[in-house]
């Protein structure tokens, strides 16, 4: 019997940093996943922004069972189904629409829904979501914005992404309503394209130690 699909809070608890991946060549997906695993990363978001992305999700889901792979940039119901069919364990969206929510529900795909305003967060909470992506984190208000939400929006935990770095991550992670942070700095698109996997492992190790 296969393991039950982990919940979003369980996935966010896998580590302090969830690398956000933009990948151009699916053949690099498994070496990339191994490089991240070697550094202690246990979950990643592969954004569906490149033609190679779905195949990359499929390869990591099939060949790297020790890493929990999600599909990012799931902006509509069709992408939710494609992500699920590729083997994604969860979906991430930059913002949230009924199409995304219903598409993920129909696909049986746990969703980390994006939100950037208090009203969006309240609507998501009403819809049953307790964990959200705060995007674009720096541009939408940064650390002071999320810090101010802990009291009026108890029970919501966030994974902020957008402009976060190794240096700024500790300040985010210090907040009580931050579950983990996401970002591309661990494995950037150019670093992946260059096959700089030793460098990616070093960055992964530093991120996992936060």
| Closer of 6 and 163 to ligand 3PG (Cβ) | 163
Options 8, 14, 17, 20; binder of ligand 3PG; rule CB under 6 A: 20
Q: Distance (Å, rounded) from C-alpha 20 to C-alpha 63?
A: 19
For residues 134-163, which are near ligand 3PG according to CB under 6 A? 135, 161-163
Residue among 125 and 166 whose Cβ is closer to ligand 3PG: 166
Min dist CB 162 to ligand 3PG, Å, is: 4
Residue list 184-203, contact with ligand 3PG (CB under 6 A):
184-185
Nearest to 184 by CA among 13, 7, 50: 50
CA angle (201, 109, 30) in 5-degree steps: 25
Q: Is 113 in the site for ligand 3PG (CB under 6 A)?
A: no
Sequential DSSP letters for 156-203:
-EEEE-SS--TTTHHHHHTSTTB--EEESSSS-HHHHHTT-HHHHHHH
133 is catalytic: yes
Q: How far is the CB of 36 from ligand 3PG (least distance, A)?
A: 15
| Min separation Cβ 133 and ligand 3PG, Å | 8
Tokens matching residue 65: 């069972």
Locate 204 and state its tokens: 């992964």
Element (H, E) at 71: strand 68-72
Site residue total, ligand 3PG (CB under 6 A):
9
91 binds ligand 3PG (CB under 6 A): no
Q: Which of residues 54-83 bind ligand 3PG (CB under 6 A)?
A: none
Q: Rounded distance, CA 144 to CA 16, Å?
A: 19
Residue 81 is a catalytic residue:
no
What CA–CA distance (Å, rounded) separates 169 from 181?
A: 7
Contact string 160-179 vs ligand 3PG (x = CB under 6 A)? -xxxx---------------
Tell me the two tokens of residue 177. 């309503």
Residues annotated as catalytic (active site), given as ranges:
45, 133
Q: Catalog residues that contact ligand 3PG under the rule CB under 6 A.
A: 20, 135, 161-164, 183-185
């Amino acid at each position: 019997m296969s393991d039950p699909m982990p919940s979003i809070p369980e996935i966010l608890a896998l580590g302090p940093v969830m690398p956000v991946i933009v990948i151009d060549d699916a053949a690099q997906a498994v070496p990339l996943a191994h490089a991240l695993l070697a550094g202690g990363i246990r979950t990643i978001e592969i954004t569906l922004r490149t033609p190679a992305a779905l195949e990359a999700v499929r390869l990591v889901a099939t060949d790297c069972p020790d890493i929990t792979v999600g599909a990012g940039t799931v902006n509509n119901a069709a992408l939710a189904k494609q992500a699920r069919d590729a083997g994604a364990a969860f979906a991430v969206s930059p913002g949230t629409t009924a199409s995304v929510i219903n598409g993920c529900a129909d696909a049986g795909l746990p969703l980390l829904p994006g939100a950037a305003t208090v009203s969006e967060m309240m609507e998501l909470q009403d819809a049953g979501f307790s964990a959200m992506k705060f995007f674009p984190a720096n541009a939408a208000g940064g650390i002071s914005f999320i810090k101010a939400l802990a009291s009026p929006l108890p029970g919501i935990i966030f994974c902020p992404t957008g402009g976060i770095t190794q240096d700024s991550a500790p300040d985010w992670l210090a907040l009580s309503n931050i579950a983990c942070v996401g970002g591309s700095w661990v494995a950037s698109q150019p670093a992946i394209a260059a096959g700089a996997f030793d460098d990616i492992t070093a960055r992964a190790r530093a991120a996992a130690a936060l």
